Amino acid sequence: MAIRREALLSNDFLAQLERLSLKARRPVQGWGAGQRRSRRTGHSVEFADYRAYGTGDDMRYVDWNIFGRTDRLHVKLFVDDEDLSLHLLIDASASMECGSPVKLSWAARLAAALCFVGLANQERVALGVLRGSVGETLPPTRGRNRIPAMFERLSSLTGGGVTRLNESLAAYAQHSRGAGLAVLISDLLDPDGYEAGLRALLERGFEVHVIHILSEEELHPDFAGDVRLVDRETGEMRALRLDPETRRAYDERLAQFLH
């Protein structure tokens, strides 16, 4: 279900967003020198830490002194707190097509708002659409002139496929050319969880934020009696009686999930 472009964000709301900017809680680590250049003349890239070498890392930043002592490869990490990269990771699996209004439409609007703030402030903004794996990506781009293209892509999002957050987030972390602010927008409805995927982003130097979206129907189911539920992604069917005891059990599980 594509979202009409004009319905993404109103002009009045965009005017309010003009006053906002992005700020990381801490300097963000990159994969080497010079990938995130400062806008200020004379600003240098500062050494921050080491981490274990991973497939695809630039061999120029391997610390050979550590290798000589430990026989293990480690790469140097650097800090530059000027040129922030925002990575918008949107869950576009079939479960995000549920709800009224559809959860994916809210995800697109949230992403559009954050995208606008980033591009309007000359930050780099990247987009990752998650459908089972990383279904598609738009690499980091910069400038107000990129806003229409990003909005066009967000307004055309459709949901489908199964949720595999651990797999897709780990793949995005592995293939991303640099770190930054990573914002995952998802209902988190994955039977295998999402913790390993978030950890993969953290280990690659991302500052991770999660925006959790659930529909009103998921928070407060409005049906009762004998029902047959169908999993939107797998087609699995389950019959149950939604009585007061079942409702209490559901509310308890929901509270645990939200916590």
Tokens found for residue 239: 């019959």
Element (H, E) at 73: none
**Superfamily for domain range 5-24+84-216:** von Willebrand factor, type A domain (3.40.50.410)
Check pLDDT > 60 for residue 42.
no
For tokens 């995000």, the residue is: 96
CA distances from 149 to 40, 87, 145 (A): 28, 16, 8
What mean pLDDT is predicted for residues 240-246?
92
pLDDT tens across 1-23, in order? Answer: 555 555 789 999 999 999 998 88
Predicted TM-score (pTM) of this structure: 0.77
pLDDT of 230 reads 92
The residue that leads in pLDDT, 229 or 52, is: 229
Domain segments of the chain as ranges: 5-24+84-216, 29-79, 221-258
Instruction: State phi, psi for 215 to the nearest 5 degrees.
Output: -85, 160
